[in-house]
């Protein structure tokens, strides 16, 4: 029989998951609307933002490099990318890309230090210009979120793409 403490704990976990989902959905909407400066405000200044390369080995399904990355960035490099995207020098984003992020399978766990482990799956649609071609990127994200009032900031994001070789010429969008 469940006790009141069990129910309160379950309710706390449910509410945490709801808050994390709301945060991740709003973040995705910001990026899809290309509101990248607003997105930067969601990042901690000591953010770690990485996507390691997938390593394909026989009998091992989920193996990633610890030294090679599609991107390995900090706040300064992310801020520089946003500034370049908003300038006339972002040739890869002329015309601007169209993206749609689908965030699913969100799981959230509060850590002992008060931060939150948030795991989610991401499917990104990417198209650009008048071309009939488009790309999908799929992967899972492992975030560490810091509570900030009723919302969060991103302290760490690791993106593990499902592709060994993504079918995209450039990764000029944030995942």
Contact status, residue 48 vs residue 143, Cβ threshold 8 Å = no
Residue 141 CB contacts under 8 Å (≥ 6 apart), including other chains: 118, 119, 120, 121, 122, 157, 158, 159, 160, 175
pLDDT values of the chain reduced to their tens digit, one per residue, 175 residues: 678 788 788 899 999 999 999 999 999 999 999 999 999 999 999 999 999 999 988 877 788 999 999 999 999 999 999 999 888 877 777 788 899 999 999 999 999 999 999 999 999 999 988 888 889 999 999 999 999 998 999 999 999 999 888 887 777 889 9
Q: Which of 98, 90, 82, 81 is nearest to 136 (CA)?
A: 98
Alpha-carbon torsion, ordered 125, 129, 131, 136, to 10 deg: -10
Question: What does the alpha-carbon distance between residue 20 and residue 13 come to, in Å, rounded to a whole number?
Answer: 11
Phi, psi values for residue 60, rounded to 5° = -125, 120
pLDDT at res. 1: 67
Structure tokens at 63: 């193996």
Helical residues (DSSP H) of the chain, grouped into ranges: 4-32, 36-40, 75-85
Residue 36 CB contacts under 8 Å (≥ 6 apart), including other chains: 30, 82, 85, 86, 174
């Amino acid at each position: 029989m469940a006790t009141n403490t069990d129910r309160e704990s379950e309710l706390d976990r449910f509410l945490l998951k709801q808050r994390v989902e709301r945060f991740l959905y709003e973040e995705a909407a910001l990026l899809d609307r290309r509101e990248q400066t607003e997105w930067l405000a969601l990042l901690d200044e000591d953010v770690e933002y990485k996507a390691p390369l997938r390593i394909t080995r026989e009998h091992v399904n989920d193996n990633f490099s610890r030294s090679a990355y599609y991107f390995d960035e900090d706040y300064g490099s992310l801020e520089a990318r946003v500034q370049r995207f908003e300038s006339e020098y972002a040739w890869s984003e002329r015309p601007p890309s169209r993206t749609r992020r689908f965030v699913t399978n969100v799981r959230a766990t509060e850590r002992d230090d008060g931060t939150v482990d948030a795991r989610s799956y991401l499917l990104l649609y990417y198209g650009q210009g008048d071309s009939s071609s488009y790309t999908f990127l799929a992967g899972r994200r492992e975030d560490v979120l810091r509570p900030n009032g009723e919302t969060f900031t991103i302290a760490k994001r690791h993106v593990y793409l499902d592709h060994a070789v993504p079918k995209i010429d450039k990764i000029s969008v944030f995942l």
